[in-house]
Structure 1
Amino acid sequence: MDTGTHVVMGISLGGLATLDPTIASDPLLPTSVMIATIIGSQAPDFDTVLKLRNNAVYIRNHRGITHSIPAIFIWPLFITGGIILLTPETNWLTVLLWSFIAVFLHIFVDIFNAYGTQALRPFSNKWLALGVINIFDPFIFFSHLVAFAFWALGLPPGRTMLVLYLVLVSYYFWRIIEKRRVVQLAKTLHPDATHVFVSPSIRWSQWHVVIRTRDVLFVTECKNHQIEYFEQYSFDPIPNIPIINAARKDSNLSAFLSFSPTYRWEVEEKGEITEVRFVDLRYRSKGHYPFVAIVQLDQNLSIISSYTGWVFSEETLQKKLNIVTE
């Protein structure tokens, strides 16, 4: 989820925690627990600082080890330790419990969007991405704000947030059912489909869908339970040829391939430069595919420049590559 949603989730957990009898009987605990749930709801995303290095490092590692099984236990220990240093008299066990819940909830809800997490590390590096909730979901965010408004008007925070979470659980189940309907529709139209990749949009009734058969990739959109076709490409596995093998040694392309499950590739000669381009097909927007990886090589197959990330125009992409092509 986006940062804002994780923040409001942290606040709502702090409100929900007031149902805990231990917190209700200790005047110091509500504040300590609220701090713990807010920090815990953000902690796994502290790896965003990897963007300061480069996109390749960020893409390969974001939502990796910081969202792993060990992280579920390590983050709460750090958070609780910090709070104890500031308020030694606080009930550390209760703070530890609610910081654990906050960290766990952060990692758990991130599994439901198309980006996903490596939540099973160190046992598996597989990305878990259910693709049922958009990175920013207006209903989830604004339902929190409505609950906060009732809280501000004097309703008990614990019961108010409990109702909120019951509503959100129902919402998640509904989104799971809707995604299954999209997948089933795609398979009905293409019984020979080997994979159906579904990414939610910000609109409830609209889904980005890539249908892969043994020979073709269909880029489509499901809107109001109707499939609309945009483009189709031949499904060509990455070939074992010198130019591609040289490009795959680049860290940007390697990071892209570690993350993207469905893409098309192309090789283009541009004078003395050869450009290898990979395009993720899941995020088509207004006829453009913004998530790409590009490697430019010279005639000796040496890498000149490369880039991976989100770009929304060819001009911007070429500026990022810092190469003037003719």
Structure 2
Amino acid sequence: MDTGTHFVMGIAIGGLATLDPAIGEHSVTAQAVLFGAILGQQAPDIDTVLKLRNNAVYIRNHRGITHSIPAVLFWPLLISGFLAIIFPEVNFLHLWMWTFFAVALHVFVDLFNAYGTQAIRPFSSKWVAFGIINTFDPIIFGIHIAGIILWGFGLPPGPTFVAMYIIIVIYYVLRFIERNKVKHSVLKILPDAKKIIISPTLRFHRWRIAILTEKEFIVARSHDRALTILDTFERVPLPESKVLDAAKHDKNLSAFLSFSPVYRFEIKEGKDISEVRFIDLRYRSNGYYPFVAVVHLDKNLNIINSYTGWIFSEEKLRKKLDILPG
């Protein structure tokens, strides 16, 4: 989920924790738990700072080790230990328990996005992504805001947030059912589909779809379970190419390939400059595919410059490549 949603979830967990007698009857512990829940909801996303280095490092590592099993155990201890120094009278066990719940819930809800996490590290580095909830979901965010407002108006936080989370669980179930119906509608039209990647959007009945058949990549959308095919590309194996072989050594392209499960490619060999471009097919927006990796090489196959990330116009991509070092 996005940072804002994780923040309001932290507040909600702090309110929910008042049902615990050790917290509801002890104001210092209640205050510490509220801070612990907020920090616990934010801690796994500390790897967002990797964007300051470059997109390649960010793509390879975001929601990786910081969302792993060891991290889920580490963050609550670190946060609780820090807060115990600030609040020496706190009930440490209950502070740790609710901070652990906040961290674990963060990682759990991130599994339902299209991006996913490496939550089962160190046992496997596989990305787990259920693709049911958009990274920002206005309904989930709005329900949390409503609960916080009701708390502010004097309603008891424990029962208020219990009711809120029951509604959210029902919403998740409905999203799961809707996604399965979309998948079945795809299979009715394309029974030979080998793989179907369904990504949620901000709207309940709208989904982005990338389909792999034996011979084609098909990009589609679903609106009210009606499937519309937007683009079709022939599945072409990667060719034997010295330009491509050289480009694969680039960190940006390597990061893209480690993350993207469905893409097409373009290789343009020029006299002085050659370009290798890989285009992720999952995120079509207004007729454009914004998630790309591009590598420019000189005639001696040395990498001149490269980029990977989200770009919504060719002009902006060119500007990025002009300012990036080789």
Task: Tell me which interval the TM-score lies in, with the shorter structure as reference length.
Answer: over 0.9
Aligned counterpart, 2:50: 50
1:323 to 1:82, Cα distance in 2 relative to 1, 3 A:
closer
TM-fit CA distance, 1:109:
0.4
What is the aligned partner in structure 2 of residue 191 from structure 1? 191
Aligned runs of 1:213-224 on 2, under 5 Å?
213-224=213-224
Partner residue, 1:302 = 302
- Find the aligned partners of 1:59 and 1:143 in 2 and give their Cα distance: 30
1:22 alignment partner in structure 2: 22
Q: What displacement does 1:22 show?
A: 1.0
**Aligned: 1:278 with 2:289:** no
For residue 239 of structure 1, report the CA deviation from its aligned partner: 3.3
- What does residue 85 of structure 2 align with? 85
Q: Which residue of 2 aligns with 1:318?
A: 318
Task: Determine if contact 2:219/2:232 at 8 Å carries over to the other structure.
Answer: yes
AA paired with 1:12?
A
Matches of 2:242 and 2:43, distance apart in 1: 43
Q: Deviations over 1:67-102 (max 9, x none)?
A: 001010000011001001111221111110011000
Equivalent residue number for residue 6 of structure 2: 6
For 1:235 and 1:12, locate their aligned partners in 2 and report how far apart those are by CA, in whole Å.
Answer: 47
Deviation per CA, 1:229-274, whole angstroms, max 9, x where unpaired? 1110011233343222211111101111111111111101344111
Aligned residue for 1:39? 39
Deviations 1:168-208 (A, max 9, x none): 11111111111111111111111111000111111111100
Aligned-partner Cα distance in 2 for 1:240–1:231 = 26
* 2-structure distance, mates of 1:235, 1:95: 53
Whether the 8 Å contact between 2:271 and 2:299 is mirrored in structure 1 is: no
Partner of 1:99: 99
Q: What is the aligned-residue RMSD (CA, Å)?
A: 1.2
Counterpart residue number, 1:145: 145
2:219/2:281 contact within 8 Å kept: yes
**Structure 2 residue ranges without an equivalent (≥5):** none
1:114 equivalent in structure 2: 114
The 1-side partners of 2:181 and 2:205 are apart by 11
How do residues 148-297 of structure 1 correspond to structure 2 at under 5 angstroms?
A: 148-297=148-297
In the alignment, is the contact (CA less than 8 A) between 2:29 and 2:89 conserved in 1?
no
SS at match of 2:230: strand
Could you tell me how far 1:139 is from its partner in structure 2?
A: 0.1
Deviation per CA, 1:39-73: give whole Å up to 9, x if none: 00000001111011000000000100000010100
Could you list the structure 1 runs, at least 4 aligned residues long, displaced by more than 4 angstroms after superposition: none
Cα separation, 2, equivalents of 1:10 and 1:283 = 30
* Counterpart in the other structure of 1:68: 68
**Which amino acid counterpart does residue 277 of structure 2 have in structure 1?**
R
CA distance in 1, matches of 2:2, 2:323: 33
1: CA distance, partners of 2:200 / 2:206: 7
- Which consecutive residues of structure 1, in runs of 5 or more, have no partner in the other structure? none
Preserved CA contact (<8 Å) 2:33 2:99: yes
Q: Structure 1 residues 317 and 157 mapped into 2: Cα distance closer, same or farther (>3 Å)?
A: same
CA contact (8 A) 2:23 2:30 kept: yes
Residue 132 of structure 1 deviates from its aligned partner by 0.5
TM-score, normalised relative to structure 2: 0.97
Aligned letter for 2:116? G
> Number of paired residues?
324
How far, CA to CA, are the matches of 2:65 and 2:163 in structure 1? Answer: 33
Q: Distance in 2 between matches of 1:71 and 1:64?
A: 10
How many Å separate the matches in 1 of 2:128 and 2:32? 32
In structure 2, distance between residues paired with 1:70 and 1:27: 31
Q: Distance in 2 between matches of 1:279 and 1:39?
A: 36
* AA aligned opposite 2:122: P
Deviates more, 1:238-247 or 1:160-169: 238-247
